[in-house]
């Protein structure tokens, strides 16, 4: 696709401040805004780079229904991480044959739902990462499509908490994988192998990715030699996005080339599972400046969005760029400030930023918030979750209404004294 019409990255500066101010006026803040056209562009770039592969969107990055629908319409399959995601994706109209459910130490309740949904939606694939999960599926009478999640012993990620590949929690140990597949093939229709290194394939160092893919290629050949015919080898997601304005976007063609070379000849289709790459730069989080306080040598800018709205900075020390969208921002001098949320925790800071001198009432936009933003929002401090809107051309659609305090207390029994 034309690089001008579909640039490899959308920066925070590319958003129209005027449109963001209008959205904040119409819907209040904090407000997640997601541009579906950008999601579609990101998918098309991925699909162009991997024309021979199946692209499964990792729904955990953003489960807004319009996103699921738009990506399914583009041709993406969807990867789900829980029974809840599975139910939502199928309910959004995605065909079972385009859905993978990755069961990580699944609770009974999740397996019950998954087996029932697999019955109702033929072609659904369950990815199991432990022999026990296979046994528990068989106990439920499941004999359908299985993909085996393998622990490749290789991890990669922007933070230790997102490097899953070498974490013993995930997947069947590599040296037992071929045996596990062979024995699973007697009870199930084994259709695939899966591994995910973590979140953070970056252009600088593809060695962990190459290593993972090459091990998966070797395993696929071994499994084929043992007479198990695979449909696909899924090498996971983790395609990085530039969170800092001076970072280059990922060279997808280089990643795709390295992937093909490392996989080698296999009699199965390659599958990839991007989450953040498809949605991160399609989203911003809008928040209002509530307080501006000179404190010691610095300035603390208190905003409405905090660690309950956008958890990544507190959870992973993640960096999210910010921009002051005030109408006269360009005429103000830049100033370095600490941006902090409304939660009563010292971890509730969104980092130090150079911003057009913030004033009470200004609107700030927080970049790259389309992935793992709304999804990780929670109600700690009894704080209702924010609203989220989706832009589709000139249309603005509500994806999730703003929660109220009544939503927070709705789960409490009514007869509580």
| Residues noted as catalytic | 344
Gyration radius of the chain over CA positions: 22
Q: Strands 363-366 and 189-194, how do they pair?
A: unpaired
- Please give the Cα distance from 150 to 165 (Å, whole number): 9
According to CB under 6 A, which one of 106, 155, 165, 236 is a site residue for ligand PLP?
236
Phi first, then psi: what are they for 320, rounded to 5°? Answer: -125, 120
Of 324 and 369, which has the nearer Cβ to ligand PLP?
A: 369
Q: Are the CB atoms for 203 and 256 separated by under 8 Å?
A: no
Sign of CA dihedral 341, 68, 130, 212: negative
- The interface with ligand PLP within residues 258-297 (CB under 6 A) comprises 273-277
| Assigned token pair, 6 | 């579909």
Of 58 and 181, which has the nearer Cβ to ligand PLP?
A: 58
- The interface with ligand PLP within residues 60-79 (CB under 6 A) comprises 60-61, 79
- Please give the Cα distance from 383 to 322 (Å, whole number): 23
Min CB(239)–ligand PLP separation in Å? 5
Min CB(56)–ligand PLP separation in Å? 8
**In this chain, which stretch among 58-66, 112-120, 341-349, 359-367 interacts with ligand PLP, using CB under 6 A?**
58-66
Q: For residue 199, state whether it binds ligand PLP (rule: CB under 6 A).
A: yes
Instruction: Give the contacts of 239 (CB within 8 A, at least 6 positions apart).
Output: 46, 201, 250, 252, 255, 272, 274, 276, 277
Min CB(102)–ligand PLP separation in Å? 5
Helix (H/G/I), strand (E/B), else coil: 330: helix
Q: For residue 238, state whether it binds ligand PLP (rule: CB under 6 A).
A: yes
Min CB(316)–ligand PLP separation in Å? 12
Q: Site map for ligand PLP, 140-169, x if CB under 6 A? A: ------------------------x-----
Which residues of the chain form contacts with ligand PLP (CB under 6 A)?
Answer: 58, 60-61, 79, 102, 164, 196, 199, 236-239, 273-277, 371
């Amino acid at each position: 696709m034309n690089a001008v019409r579909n640039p490899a990255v959308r920066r925070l500066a590319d958003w129209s401040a005027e449109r963001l101010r209008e959205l904040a006026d119409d819907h209040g803040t904090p407000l997640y805004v997601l541009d579906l056209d950008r999601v579609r562009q990101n998918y098309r770039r991925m699909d162009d780079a991997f024309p021979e592969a199946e692209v499964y969107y990792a729904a955990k990055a953003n489960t807004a229904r319009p996103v699921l629908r738009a990506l399914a319409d583009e041709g993406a399959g969807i990867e789900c991480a829980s029974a809840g995601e599975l139910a939502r994706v199928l309910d959004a109209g995605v065909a079972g044959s385009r859905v993978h459910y990755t069961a990580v130490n699944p609770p009974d309740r999740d397996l019950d739902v998954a087996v029932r949904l697999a019955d109702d939606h033929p072609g659904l694939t369950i990815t199991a990462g432990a022999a026990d999960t296979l046994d528990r599926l068989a106990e439920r009478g499941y004999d359908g499509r299985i993909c085996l999640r393998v622990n490749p012993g290789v991890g990669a990620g922007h933070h230790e908490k997102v490097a899953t590949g070498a974490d013993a929690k995930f997947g069947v140990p590599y040296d037992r994988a071929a045996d596990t597949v062979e024995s699973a093939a007697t009870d199930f229709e084994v259709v695939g192998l899966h591994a995910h290194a973590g979140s953070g394939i970056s252009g600088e160092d593809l060695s962990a990715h190459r290593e993972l893919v090459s091990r998966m290629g070797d395993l696929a050949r071994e499994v084929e030699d043992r007479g198990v015919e695979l449909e696909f080898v899924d090498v996971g997601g983790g395609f990085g996005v530039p969170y800092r304005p001076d970072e280059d976007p990922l060279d997808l063609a280089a990643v795709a080339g390295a992937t093909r070379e490392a996989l080698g000849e296999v009699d199965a289709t390659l599958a990839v599972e991007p989450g953040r790459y498809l949605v991160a730069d399609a989203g911003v989080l809008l928040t209002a400046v509530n307080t501006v306080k000179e404190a010691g040598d610095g300035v603390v800018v208190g905003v409405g969005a905090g660690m309950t709205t956008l958890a990544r900075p507190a959870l992973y020390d993640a960096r999210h760029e910010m921009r002051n969208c005030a109408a006269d921002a360009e005429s103000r001098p830049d100033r370095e400030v600490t941006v902090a949320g409304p939660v009563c925790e010292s971890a509730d800071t969104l980092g130090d930023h150079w911003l057009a001198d913030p004033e009470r009432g200004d609107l700030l936009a927080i970049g790259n918030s389309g992935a793992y933003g709304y999804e990780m929002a929670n109600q700690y401090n009894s704080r209702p979750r924010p609203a989220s809107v989706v832009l589709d051309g000139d249309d603005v659609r509500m994806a999730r209404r703003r929660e109220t305090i009544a939503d927070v207390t709705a789960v409490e029994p009514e007869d509580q004294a």
